[in-house]
Amino acid sequence: MSTTPLRAAMVPFTRQMRAYFAPVNRETETPTIFDPGLSGAFPLASPPSPWVDLGWVEGLERFYDTPTDVVQSGSKLLPAVQFRGPLEARVEFDFREWGKLQMALAGGSEHMNVLAPAGNVTTGPSGGVPLPGVAVLPGSTASELVLGTGALNAFPAGTLVAVDVDYQQQTGYVGSGISAAYVTSPTAVNQDLNYVRRVTFNVGRVAETTTTSLLLVQPLLGGAPASGASVQAVIAFVDREGGAFFQEWSALFVAEQESGGRICFYYPRLSPNPGAASKSTSTKSATGKSAITSGTAANTLRAFLREEWMLLVKPLSSVSLRAAFLALPYIDPNDGQTVLCYRSYFPAPMAAVY
Amino acid sequence: MQFAKDSFLMALQQRLAALNPSRVVTVNGATVPAILVVENLPPSSAEPQPNTFYVEWGEAGVIEGHAGNNAIMSLECAISYYTLGTVQSMVDRGRVLGELDEELLGMCQPPNTEKRDYTQSPSADLGTSVFWGQPLLGESKKSAVTDNVERYQDARVERKAQLTIYFFSEVILQ
């Protein structure tokens, strides 16, 4: 037995995994970059912009589905060289917290803001005819919506609001700052003036009102309202089984350092892919579930449950959102390699290196 | 093990000073944040003071199968405190106990701190952390009348919280 510590232990311990997401520019398929050198050691409660903290996640599983094949040569068919087959990686986990973004990512397709109805005129499972929007005036910011006097009464403190431009019969991606849906033709969305606000990620909650403006609890995800934007009250959020649109986001998962070292998993481009089974192995971060360690076990087709119910004490349960994603490729500018995911490790100060 | 104990106490002291600078206690003429380790006090110390956190260490052990030669160790910790309230009638003692509970929970966040060698000045970073579970805010004794606190003749209300800290041993196991 020695009492001289030759080196500090290098075993990472973590309590839970934390998830951060940031938009991908869908027009150019440009992800949000997580640069470990610039922003790797950020405080977990205040991620660098534009990363959005989506809270703790449970049961994170990272599946490696890229086959490695061998070229054999000679009369004895000895292995000569290896090569990687088609790249594929998946990630699955449960969002413990519910919100606009968590639901959109777990649902995977267009995510609807149920706009406050104009009355019992028409009904719809994702909202009927809404109250008309109120124009947002110049001088507004991501945290303050200037409406002028008289228009504020419809938005008392506590009101959820959606802020975006009117639908102008355009096709393609819609949603200011963050692509929220893809419109193939104006008729597909009934030429609805409110369609963009039905799907936009620019939602917030009114903290208080001034004489002319609404002050929001959290800033709009897409930034300051675009010119010509309007605001409408939101009653609820709805996701749907179905829909043609695929969300696509950059994702960062951080295992909070308990024993000193921080582990980060960065996916430049993740697209929801619920229900698809992994072909290979996984690593698992969460407590309470046994890890899948072999291809045989992972190859077993598992039912995909949209929600997980975690018993607190009968009859109380917490409900989490099950989410699954396929990693899309990104070209690393340092060497032109196509990659799906980055794993980075930040050793504790004064920890041994190897 | 002493490094872990010292690091835990120093972290909680600093955090208490930030959370509530007025929560102090005078020990041997020195005013310090009101969290003390019982085994560091002279055996002849007077009765525990109200509104002060007293740390006592309990059972320790090596957790097998986690860290190879650098054993991960657990160490039980009990933190006791009581209050008589702040007014003559003592009717606010439950509220003060609630404040103490909140301060304890706040001191324990985040549930880790660097393990440092405080036997030298300045202290040295030992390259790992001490981390712990969330405290269980229990009771020291049951009362037929009150559920979570014990009534003494002086009507004090008290709490005994328990948690376990974890750290890598300085001893290399073979």
B19-33: per-residue pLDDT in tens?
Answer: 999 999 998 889 999
What interface predicted TM-score (ipTM) does this complex get?
A: 0.76
Statement: residue A3 has pLDDT above 50? no
The CA-based diameter of chain A, rounded to the nearest angstrom, is: 87
Under an 8 A CB cutoff, do A8 and B168 touch? yes
| B95 within some domain | yes
What would the pLDDT profile of B34-93 be if each residue is shown by its tens digit? 999 999 888 776 788 999 999 999 999 988 776 666 788 999 999 999 998 888 888 888
Structure pTM?
Answer: 0.85
Mean pLDDT computed over B100-113: 94
Under an 8 A CB cutoff, do B128 and A15 touch? no
Give me the pLDDT at residue A322, please. Answer: 95
Give me the pLDDT at residue B140, please. Answer: 54
Give me the pLDDT at residue A122, please. Answer: 84
DSSP annotation of A49 reads: T
Statement: residue A149 has pLDDT above 70? yes
Q: Which residue has the higher pLDDT, B130 or A286?
A: B130
Residue B108 near residue B134 (C-beta atoms within 8 A): yes
Q: Rounded to the nearest 5°, which phi and psi values hold at A235? A: -95, -40
| B169 within some domain | no
Statement: residue A134 has pLDDT above 70? yes
Mutation to test the A interface, candidates B62, B115, B116, B128, most A Cβ within 10 Å = B128
Q: Flag the least confident range among A61-65, A156-160, A348-352, B119-123.
A: A348-352
Sequence-distant (6+) residues with CB within 8 A of A165 are: A176, A196, A226, A227, A228, A229, A230
Closest approach of chain B CAs to the CA of A16, in angstroms? Answer: 12
| Distance between CA atoms of residues A206 and A214, nearest Å | 6
The domain spans of chain A are 17-70+82-108+246-346, 112-238
| A127 confidence band (pLDDT: 50, 70, 90) | very high
- Strand pairing partners for A232? A162
Mean pLDDT computed over A309-330: 92
Give me the pLDDT at residue A352, please. Answer: 80
Q: Tell me which residue of A191, A193, A190, A163 sits closest to A177, measured CA to CA.
A: A163
Residue A92 near residue A19 (C-beta atoms within 8 A): no
DSSP annotation of B47 reads: S
Residue A317 near residue A311 (C-beta atoms within 8 A): yes
**Domain hosting residue B94, numbered range:** 2-58+77-162
Statement: residue A306 has pLDDT above 70? yes
Under an 8 A CB cutoff, do A350 and B170 touch? no
| A288 confidence band (pLDDT: 50, 70, 90) | very low
Give me the pLDDT at residue A2, please. Answer: 44
Statement: residue A65 has pLDDT above 90? no
Number of domains, chain B: 1
Statement: residue A193 has pLDDT above 70? yes
Instruction: Tally C-beta pairs within 8 A across A and B.
Output: 69
Residue A131 near residue A151 (C-beta atoms within 8 A): no
Contacts B129 to A, Cβ<8 Å: 257-260, 348
Q: SS3 string of A212-277?
A: CEEEECCCCCCCCCCCCEEEEEEEEEECCCCCCCCCCEEEEEEECCCCCCEEEEEEEEEEECCCCC
